[in-house]
Each structure stands twice: as C-alpha cells, then as structure tokens.
C-alpha cells in the first residue's frame, strides 16, 4: 500500500438510499428501520459528467441505518436488512474491513468480486453512526397524524425543535458537518491510494458514501455554508447520486441528486 501525505483531490460519491416504507405511510420510521440502496452492476453506473472515467473507490462509508446490496448478486447484502450491523458478519461489523458482502465465498473472493463496481481487494468499508438520519427519540414509529398540531408544526418547521430524547434538525446538521470537517485529515492520515489512482499518478481518493437523502442534504448545506434552513431548498431524492470534492482545503458541490438509472432498475 502506497503512503501519501495529502491526496491531490478527495472525492465523495454519495448514493442516497430508498426511504423506509413508514415514511411513505406518513410515519416516522422505527429506530431499527433501514434505508436500502443497490449498487449498479458495473462502474459505468456511477458515471457523472464531472468524472472523466468510472471511479475506483478507496473506501466505502456506510451509515448505520442503511443497507447496501449488490446488483450482481442480490442474495449478498452488506448487512442484514432487519437486524442491521449487529447481525452482519464480522467483516461488516468492524470499523474497517474488506468489502465482502455476507454470503461466504460467492463475494469478493470469486469472479463476481472482480465485477463489483469500482471495488478492489484494497477497498475497505467503514460503518459509521455519524451519518445516520435524525434521531427522533421517543417519536420513532409514530404516525404524524397522531401528533398535536403544535408538535407537528414544530417538527416540520422549527430547526431547533427536538423530540423527547431526540435531536433537532440543527443538531443533525452539526453532527454531519463535524464529520465532513474532519474527513480530509483522517483520509490524509490513512494515506491509502487505490491501484488505479497510482497507475495514473493522480494521487486522488474517491470514497463511496451510502446514506439517506436528509444526510446528503446536510452534507451539501455544510459545503455551501448554509444551515438547516437551506435543506428545504435542495432536492436530493432517494436513489440518486451526488458528488462533492475537496481540493487544497476547500469543498465544492459538483453534482446534486443526479439520476442513477442503473440503480433504479436494479431496485425494481
């Protein structure tokens, strides 16, 4: 593994998951609910106008409230959709582990592994709580129609309102911004550059971030210098791709909520 001081460019390709069914039914999802995303069948599925070639990921960062499956082998989830990370194999539960979906030898040790989009044997996966969706405390699993009008209004319109034992929208954004601020230093300390980047001499690192839409909106707001009030003005639907880059100390928004046709088809 080659070590480098500071990567020339840090790219975040963010895939948003589908929303839990409870959201579609007018409810706040249960705490154990998971958002789901299916990776494209090939790296071309990650193509964006801003990228000259399909990406090669140096790391995959998966939010703890999300589930990722492979379109190549739908029977091999990165984590169990019901039990979450605690029910996943050790390679997924650990903080940094090889990208190896559950299901044993049919994963990255075989021919299908070489076809996984943007993934090599050097790719690691980090499971993080920092990029989970908002904590609704005791309101998880509750139907919105059952709330008193003043409580519902505060939940939807007051960024400083926090449900009992939960967090406010502003606290969610602060948590995500803290993660984003420390990421370049952490990646520089890791200093790992994928083989594809070494071959071209680019020294760039590309990370795949898998999180719910509200988290990706919070990332965009942090980069654009806006608070949670800005989030309502950004449309980042489920199952779409966004691109953020970090270069010489500055973050930039390169793409927001781009359609991910391969991912959509694989979702059925």
Give the Cα separation of 159 and 81 in Å (integer).
30
The pLDDT confidence band at residue 187, using thresholds 50, 70 and 90, is confident
Over residues 229-245, the pLDDT tens digits come to 999 999 999 999 999 99
Question: DSSP letter at 166?
Answer: S
> Within a domain: residue 161?
no
> Within a domain: residue 145?
no
Taking only Cα atoms into account, the Rg of the chain, rounded to an integer number of angstroms, comes to: 18
What is the predicted pLDDT for the residue at 48?
74
Q: Is the pLDDT assigned to residue 4 strictly greater than 50? A: no
Q: Is the pLDDT assigned to residue 200 strictly greater than 60? A: no
Other C-beta atoms closer than 10 Å to the C-beta of 170 total 16
Question: Three-state SS for 124?
Answer: strand
Q: Is the pLDDT assigned to residue 193 strictly greater than 60? A: no
pTM comes to 0.77
What is the predicted pLDDT for the residue at 86?
44
Other C-beta atoms closer than 10 Å to the C-beta of 130 total 17
Give the Cα separation of 55 and 34 in Å (integer).
26
> Within a domain: residue 27?
yes
What is the predicted pLDDT for the residue at 51?
76
> Within a domain: residue 79?
yes
What is the predicted pLDDT for the residue at 263?
37
> Within a domain: residue 206?
yes
- Percent of the chain beyond pLDDT 70? 67
Distance from CA of residue 209 to its chain's centroid?
3
| DSSP secondary structure letters along 56-117 | --SEEEEETTEEEEESS-TT-BSSBTTTBGGGS-HHHHSSSEE---SSGGGSTTSHHHHHST
Distance from CA of residue 13 to its chain's centroid?
8
Mean pLDDT, rounded, of the chain = 76
- Ramachandran region, residue 75 (left: φ > 0; alpha: ψ -120 to 50; beta: rest): alpha
How many angstroms separate the most distant Cα atoms in the chain?
Answer: 60
What is the predicted pLDDT for the residue at 100?
36
Other C-beta atoms closer than 10 Å to the C-beta of 129 total 12
Question: Three-state SS for 2?
Answer: coil
Please report the sign of the dihedral spanned by the C-alpha atoms of residue 59, residue 60, residue 63, residue 64. negative
Nearest to 188 by CA among 56, 55, 9: 9
What is the predicted pLDDT for the residue at 74?
47
CB proximity list for 33: less than 8 A, separation 6 or greater: 20, 21, 22, 65
Residue range of the domain that includes 70: 10-133+177-212+232-267
> Within a domain: residue 162?
no
Nearest to 217 by CA among 235, 201, 197: 235
Over residues 152-166, the pLDDT tens digits come to 999 999 999 999 999
Nearest to 218 by CA among 120, 133, 96: 133
What is the predicted pLDDT for the residue at 122?
66
- What's the average model confidence in pLDDT over 199-224? 87
> Within a domain: residue 100?
yes
> Within a domain: residue 154?
no
Q: Which of 3-7, 16-20, 65-69 has the highest mean pLDDT?
A: 16-20
Query: Residues 243, 50: contact at Cβ < 8 Å?
Result: yes
What is the predicted pLDDT for the residue at 52?
75
The pLDDT confidence band at residue 248, using thresholds 50, 70 and 90, is confident
What is the predicted pLDDT for the residue at 197?
47
What is the predicted pLDDT for the residue at 40?
77
Over residues 93-150, the pLDDT tens digits come to 333 333 333 333 223 323 333 345 566 666 788 899 999 999 999 999 999 999 999 9
- What's the average model confidence in pLDDT over 81-91? 37
Query: Residues 31, 20: contact at Cβ < 8 Å?
Result: no
What is the predicted pLDDT for the residue at 121?
60
Nearest to 223 by CA among 5, 3, 14, 59: 14
Q: Is the pLDDT assigned to residue 60 strictly greater than 50? A: yes
Structurally, how many domains does the chain consist of?
1
What is the predicted pLDDT for the residue at 42?
67
């Amino acid at each position: 593994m080659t070590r480098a001081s500071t990567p020339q460019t840090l790219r975040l390709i963010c895939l948003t998951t589908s929303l839990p069914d409870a959201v579609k039914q007018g409810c706040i999802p249960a705490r154990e609910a998971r958002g789901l995303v299916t990776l494209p069948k090939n790296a071309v599925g990650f193509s964006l106008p801003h990228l000259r070639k399909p990406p090669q990921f140096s790391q995959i960062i998966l939010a703890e409230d999300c589930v990722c499956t492979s379109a190549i082998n739908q029977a091999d989830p990165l984590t169990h959709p019901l039990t979450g990370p605690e029910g996943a194999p050790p390679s997924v539960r650990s903080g940094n582990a090889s990208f190896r979906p559950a299901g044993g030898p049919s994963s990255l040790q075989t021919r299908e592994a070489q076809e996984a989009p943007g993934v090599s044997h050097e790719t690691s996966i980090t499971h993080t709580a920092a990029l989970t969706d908002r904590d609704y405390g005791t309101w998880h699993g509750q139907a919105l129609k059952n709330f008193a009008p003043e409580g519902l209004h505060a939940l939807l319109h007051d960024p400083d309102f926090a449900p009992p034992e939960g967090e406010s929208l502003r606290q969610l954004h602060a948590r995500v911004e803290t993660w984003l601020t420390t990421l370049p230093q952490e990646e520089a300390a890791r200093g790992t550059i994928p083989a594809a980047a070494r071959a071209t001499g680019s020294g760039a690192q590309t990370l795949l971030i898998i999180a719910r839409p509200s988290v990706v909106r919070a990332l965009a707001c942090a980069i654009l210098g806006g608070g949670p009030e800005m989030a309502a003005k950004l449309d980042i639907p489920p199952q779409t791709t966004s691109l953020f880059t970090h270069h010489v100390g500055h973050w930039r928004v390169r793409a927001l909520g781009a359609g991910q046709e391969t991912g959509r088809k694989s979702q059925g």
